[in-house]
């Protein structure tokens, strides 16, 4: 069974999980920043030093081993970046719960030593 320390930690994890879930602000994938060079002679992106176009923001995620993406503007990037951070945090909290579960199982006195 869970120790008092583990129970306390799972309570804190549950509170944080609930807080994120209630917000509904959860998004899988990543947002990356892209700057491009169009290659047109005389364009600022070909100057010395080059001034590339952008930044452009791309949200991508894997769907059945295929990467799908959407271009975002700066305001969308600012809005959705915390959603992706929340998703990362959910996975971290779940991994911690899995570790606690494993520790409890390993400490089960019913295992024959």
Binding site for Zn ion (CB under 5 A): 38, 43, 45
Tell me how far, at minimum, the Cβ of 19 lies from Zn ion, in Å: 44
Tell me how far, at minimum, the Cβ of 60 lies from Zn ion, in Å: 23
Tell me how far, at minimum, the Cβ of 31 lies from Zn ion, in Å: 23
Tell me how far, at minimum, the Cβ of 46 lies from Zn ion, in Å: 6
Tokens describing residue 62: 């894997």
Cβ partners under 8 Å of residue 74, min gap 6: 55, 57
Q: Please report the DSSP string for 41-99 in residue order.
A: TT-GGGSSS---EEEEEEEEEEETTEEEEEEE-HHHHHHHHHHHHHHHHHHHHHHHHHH
- Closer Cβ to Zn ion, 52 or 82, answer by number: 52
- Closer Cβ to Zn ion, 38 or 63, answer by number: 38
- Closer Cβ to Zn ion, 33 or 99, answer by number: 33
3-state secondary structure of 31: strand
| Residue 100 CA from chain centroid, whole number | 22
- Closer Cβ to Zn ion, 43 or 90, answer by number: 43
């Amino acid at each position: 069974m869970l120790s008092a320390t583990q129970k306390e930690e799972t309570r804190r994890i549950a509170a944080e999980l609930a807080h994120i879930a209630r917000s509904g602000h959860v998004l899988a994938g990543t947002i990356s920043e892209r700057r491009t060079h169009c290659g047109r002679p005389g364009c600022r992106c070909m100057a010395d030093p080059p001034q590339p176009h952008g930044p452009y923001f791309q949200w991508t995620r894997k769907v059945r081993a295929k990467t799908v993406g959407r271009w975002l503007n700066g305001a969308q990037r600012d809005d959705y970046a915390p959603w992706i951070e929340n998703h990362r945090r959910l996975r971290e909290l779940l991994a911690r719960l899995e570790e606690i579960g494993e520790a409890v199982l390993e400490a089960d006195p019913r295992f024959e030593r």
